[in-house]
Chain A
Amino acid sequence: MLLELKNLEVAYGDYQVVWGVSLNVDEGEVVTLLGPNGSGKSTVLNTISGLVPVMRGDILVSGASIIGRPTHHRAGLGIAHVLERRRVFPHLTVQQNLLLGAWHREARSKRDATIAKVASMFPILRDRANQLANSLSGGEQQMLALARGLMAMPRLLMVDEPFLGLAPQIVEQMKDIFENIRKTGIAILFIEQNVRLALSMADRGYVLESGRLAVAGESKSLVNDKTVRKVFLGE
């Protein structure tokens, strides 16, 4: 198993936000983490990348616990995290953003090859290589954020709300990009609020409600699941 969360509990100070969440992602799988606003989805991803400390429970990558490893070591373990709201480096160029994506040793040694691959996936970024990141449109910034994540040569790409605020035709384009990433064998764990969209892309899904796992399963079975409807539509 590539990634395994075991009874994860997370608190900000005295305020617990994640309660006993267990989930796993296998090599090459596409998994979505669903849930309404404030249900703890981003916190789960931030805990996996070490930005937020674990209170109880365990995080395993390829069977080994990564608890206590500082954030900057986790990229080297094959985990890339594309943060919510893109978070590109606004005053650096597209090219510089991409180069920084391949920071850890292994990625850096193959940086030129990776950048060529990434550029063929995102031709728009090649055209804008020398532009400052903050001059890009929202969709282009999201592509840069994804491309920068891929520069780390991850085995697991975690993406927090990739479709947030994107125009419908960009969403379609982004779906194709995800499909292309999946074809390269990289596993994807992504957060999305649009249930139908997310389940149309993912193999499996987990639904969080107030920091607890409400339901999990294959995308096909979740589409018509009663609990999913209850969580999202209040039915």
Chain B
Amino acid sequence: MCVKLLPQPDICMSSDVIIQAIVSGLLMGLIYALVAVGLSLIFGLMEIVNFAHGEFLMLSMFFSFWLWVLVGLDPLLSIPLVAAALAICGFATHYGIVRHILKAPMLAQICATFGLAIAIRSLAQFLWTPDFRTIQDPLVAGRIEIGGIFIGQPQLVAGLVCLTAFIGLWLFVSRTETGLALQATAQDREAAAVMGIPTDRMFALGWAIGLACVAVAGSMLSAFYFVFPDVGINFALLAFVAVALGGFGSIMGSLAAGISIGLVESLGGVLISPSYKSLIVFGLYFAVVLIRPTGLFGRY
């Protein structure tokens, strides 16, 4: 089969390449989605934009990296440890910073999480230098071939782990009493409070869960991606796009938007040009924001 390319209609491309791009985009999209859902959860709960989200991703990648270097623990096995560490970071961020600025003007809220981002990034540069690092010989490496399609095994495992985390999060939020209380707090915090729901604790829990999601994504990324202090910036940008596309506070919206971004990025890279892939993603974002400001699945 032959697929025509947009800029060069005379060049023919095999359908394998397209399917390859779809599979890679899908797997990367699952990681984007898990990063985005943490951001979305925190915003949906208390209308605070976590500008330090990418830095928490970077932190979790470094935690994963150092656990591998110092203890020899593979990123796949250290997920629970890294998730627990980031959940603690979430509690600390809420009780140390966020709860004090909940009623502050928006500019103060922006400065607080943005300042946290800069502080964490600078600290990482100070402690670990700006070097690019990689994990050598992770437990899962190499690639498998299925009908002419090559899938990197770390990417495949990462996608599956992220999907599992996503399903777990969705079940927790929609099926447990605590999850219902989280939703109630997001929808009307005063009504939740007068019914006896400790809203401040729910906020803290939202931060812990949101950052634990980032931790799972970060652990998985560290197995096949460079680990360096600025690594979070690009992922955070994509997460903002995903949250805006999916609708603030919508879990399934984040999933759909994350996957869409992964697909658009990878297909755009193949069909048009890899150097334009970010342009296509942000162009899509711009179009959706103009046409449907509440996001594709948004309520707010």
Contacts and interface: CB of A to CB of B under 8 A. Distances in A.
Interface stretch (B132-140, B195-203, B255-263, B277-285): B195-203
A71 B198 CA distance: 8
A89 B183 contact: yes
A196 interface: no
A103 B188 CA distance: 15
Given A87-B188, A91-B183, A92-B180, A51 B197 contact: no
Contacts of B190: 51, 71, 83, 87
B172 to A, nearest CB: 15
- A interface, how many residues as a size bin? 20 to 34
Contact of A71 (B184, B188, B194): B194
B180 A75 contact: no
Interface residues of B, number: 19
A91 B192 CA distance: 14
A101 B198 CA distance: 13
Interface string B182-224: 0110011011111111111000000000000000000000000
A218 B118 CA distance: 64
Given A92-B180, A96-B180, A99-B180, A75 B196 contact: yes
A75 B194 contact: yes
Contact of B197 (A50, A72, A83): A72
A6 interface: no
Interface in A95-153: 96, 99-101, 103-104, 107, 148, 152
Given A87-B188, A89-B188, A81 B183 contact: no
B104 to A, nearest CB: 14
11 contacts: A71-B193, A72-B196, A74-B196, A75-B196, A81-B194, A91-B183, A92-B187, A100-B192, A103-B196, A107-B196, A148-B195
Given A92-B184, A103-B197, A107-B196, 20 more contacts: A51-B193, A51-B194, A70-B200, A71-B193, A71-B199, A72-B195, A72-B199, A74-B194, A75-B194, A80-B195, A83-B190, A83-B191, A83-B194, A89-B184, A89-B191, A91-B187, A100-B180, A100-B181, A101-B195, A152-B196
